[in-house]
Amino acid sequence: MDGAMTDAVSTETLKRTPLYECHVAAGGKMVPFAGYEMPVQFEGVKQEHLWTRAHAGLFDVSHMGPCFLTLTDTSLEGDEAHAAIAALIEELVPSNIAGLKRCQARLTVLLNEEGGILDDLIITRPEPDELQGTLYIVVNGAVKHQDWALFEETFAGRATLTRADDRCLLALQGPEAVDVLKEYFPGCEDLRFMQSKRMYWNDVRCGVARLGYTGEDGYEILIFAEPANALADQLLADPRVKPIGLGARDSLRLEAGLCLYGQDLDPTRDPVEADLAWVIQKVRREKADFRGAARITRALAEGSAEKRVGIRPLERAPAREGTEIHVDGAKVGVITSGGFGPTVDAPVAMGYVHADLAEPGTAVDLMVRGKPRRGEICALPFTPANYKR
């Protein structure tokens, strides 16, 4: 038997997050991921997945790329400062960042000159007056160095990048996350989905945001490395909270219909075919002033050749990344993420198909190990989102 057993990859060059010892003590099985040694599972992917949907799961996502982008021109204040820093980042992303209210976070995509997706990221306008010339940005771990190089090159002399990936980024996700976390951060229960606020825990300054990557209600907390272990230990001592590894993180986000950069999104895909056109707000569509505007505007008007869809394998065999999608013996698409969804208790997948086959209910064949298996195009997500809007 192969796979999943032992990993021959050298761990010498891998980094560790501030919570490494905490994961090992909790029984985490550590694997290389995005340049870090990360826990892939604790008690088991399925149990961790189901626990998160029912209670609260604690994830270490410190491998990701939290950072701050700050205007070099310190003469501006308030809305003027925000408008100036937003105008800079809007050179690289097609979302309306200028229109963000204080505390508001927004998902967007980093585009190349052709309109292809270099990363998906969340941009937040901070609340404090002194941070109106700053944006809090979280990019993906696997591409953070190239994203940051692009920021520094594009904004040279105009804005300063401050990396925050020496800190700890924790996610507490699940329906009981709010009741757990309000004991540590009173007032966090008043945040709405995609809102973020500076809060203090034992005089430690933290960023607390109500969002996540599971489809559940929950929070992400940016905290300095040194106090992070104490916070994680206390959260894990709560009987409603269990540690969750990367395995369940992947099955949770797939059921929730959320993209994994590098699989479901890559530089050849534009936001329209990725079914992320909603990240481009009206004001930006009208101006069409973003990178790749020619391709994206055309796709918005005429539709794209391919479209990202949900796919349900109708037999028991999971159809994983790379599985070809066929109709009448001809290739019509490919699965970009696929596996087993513990909550739906069936295989689930997403991928790209020709746009005229993207209608839910369309019958397709999934070529699993050379054999056609019955599948069906379906709407995303597979499990209803439980966001606190």
Partner 1 sequence: MTVKYTEDHEWISVDGDVGTVGITKYAAEQLGDVVFVETPEGGSAFKKGDDMAVVESVKAASDVYAPVSGEVTEGNAVLAETPERVNEDPEGAGWFCKIKLSDAGELDGLMDAAAYKSFCEGL
Distance CA 123, CA 109 (A): 10
Query: Residue 176 CB, nearest distance to partner 1 (Å)?
Result: 22
Distance CA 29, CA 310 (A): 30
Stretch that binds partner 1, among 181-189, 289-297, 303-311, 315-323 (CB under 8 A): 315-323
4 binds partner 1 (CB under 8 A): yes
247 binds partner 1 (CB under 8 A): yes
- Span 340-369, contacts to partner 1 by CB under 8 A: 340, 342, 347, 369
Taking the chain, what is the end-to-end CA distance rounded to the nearest angstrom? 46
Helix/strand/coil for 107: strand
370 binds partner 1 (CB under 8 A): no
With respect to partner 1, which residue has the nearer C-beta, 42 or 68?
42
With respect to partner 1, which residue has the nearer C-beta, 282 or 369?
369
Instruction: Report yes or no: 67 and 150 within 8 Å, Cβ to Cβ.
Output: no
Tokens of 276: 């992320």
In eight-state DSSP terms, residue 141 is G
Query: Residue 371 CB, nearest distance to partner 1 (Å)?
Result: 9
Tokens of 260: 């994994």
With respect to partner 1, which residue has the nearer C-beta, 4 or 379?
4
262 binds partner 1 (CB under 8 A): no
Total site size for partner 1, rule CB under 8 A: 24
Integer CA distances (angstroms), 142 to 107, 134, 139, 222, in order: 17, 24, 9, 19
With respect to partner 1, which residue has the nearer C-beta, 24 or 346?
346
251 binds partner 1 (CB under 8 A): yes
Query: Residue 28 CB, nearest distance to partner 1 (Å)?
Result: 13
Query: Residue 182 CB, nearest distance to partner 1 (Å)?
Result: 31
Distance CA 314, CA 320 (A): 14
Burial bucket for residue 256 (CB in 10 Å: 0-12, 13-18, 19+): buried
Query: Residue 269 CB, nearest distance to partner 1 (Å)?
Result: 24
With respect to partner 1, which residue has the nearer C-beta, 4 or 305?
4
Instruction: Report yes or no: 304 and 292 within 8 Å, Cβ to Cβ.
Output: no
Candidate residues 49, 82, 249, 284; the one interacting with partner 1 per rule CB under 8 A: 49
Distance CA 173, CA 196 (A): 15
| Contact track, partner 1, 197-236, x by CB under 8 A | ----------------------------------------
Integer CA distances (angstroms), 49 to 58, 168, 183, 249, in order: 11, 22, 24, 7
Distance CA 385, CA 215 (A): 5
In eight-state DSSP terms, residue 277 is G
Q: Containing H/E element for 218?
A: strand 218-223
With respect to partner 1, which residue has the nearer C-beta, 106 or 253?
253
* Backbone angle region of 216, left / alpha / beta, with phi > 0 → left and psi within -120 to 50 → alpha: beta
Instruction: Report yes or no: 140 and 64 within 8 Å, Cβ to Cβ.
Output: yes
329 binds partner 1 (CB under 8 A): no
Residue 48, φ and ψ in degrees, nearest 5: -65, -40
Candidate residues 18, 22, 23, 41; the one interacting with partner 1 per rule CB under 8 A: 41
With respect to partner 1, which residue has the nearer C-beta, 88 or 368?
368
Whole-number CA gyration radius for the chain = 21
Query: Residue 225 CB, nearest distance to partner 1 (Å)?
Result: 29
With respect to partner 1, which residue has the nearer C-beta, 153 or 345?
345
258 binds partner 1 (CB under 8 A): no
Candidate residues 32, 44, 175, 303; the one interacting with partner 1 per rule CB under 8 A: 44
Query: Residue 366 CB, nearest distance to partner 1 (Å)?
Result: 13
339 binds partner 1 (CB under 8 A): yes
40 binds partner 1 (CB under 8 A): yes
With respect to partner 1, which residue has the nearer C-beta, 50 or 296?
50
Query: Residue 51 CB, nearest distance to partner 1 (Å)?
Result: 13
Tokens of 218: 């929950």
Report the interface residues with partner 1, using CB under 8 A. Answer: 1-6, 40-41, 44-46, 49, 247-248, 251, 316-318, 320, 339-340, 342, 347, 369
